[in-house]
Amino acid sequence: MEKDSILREFGRNLKAERNRAGLSQEKLAEKIGLSYGQVIGTIERGEVNTSLTTIVAIMNALDIDFEKLFDRQAFN
């Protein structure tokens, strides 16, 4: 299981769910208490391995389960 591919998969799914919710990166960042939307962009591009607390905040803000952000079966 390659770390970079996991981060990219998570990021692609996050972007799709954020767009589905009609939120900009800045608005999502604001909803989860981050200071600027650029952080969301780095997550969506798979450039950072974000914290679990940020992932939970994202799931709550988008009202989704983890399975919407990551398909574990794709990496078995």
Q: Where are the domains of the chain?
A: 3-61
CB 17, CB 69: distance < 8 Å: yes
For 28-76, how does the pLDDT look when each residue is reduced to its tens digit (9 = 90+)? 999 999 888 899 999 999 999 999 999 999 999 999 999 999 877 766 6
CB crowding 54-69: b at 16 or more within 10 Å, else e: bbebbbebbebeeeeb
CB 26, CB 68: distance < 8 Å: no
Query: Which numeric CATH code is attached to 3-61?
Result: 1.10.260.40
Q: Is 50 left (phi over 0), alpha (psi -120 to 50) or beta?
A: beta
CA 53 to chain centre: 12
Taking the model in full, what pTM does it have?
0.89
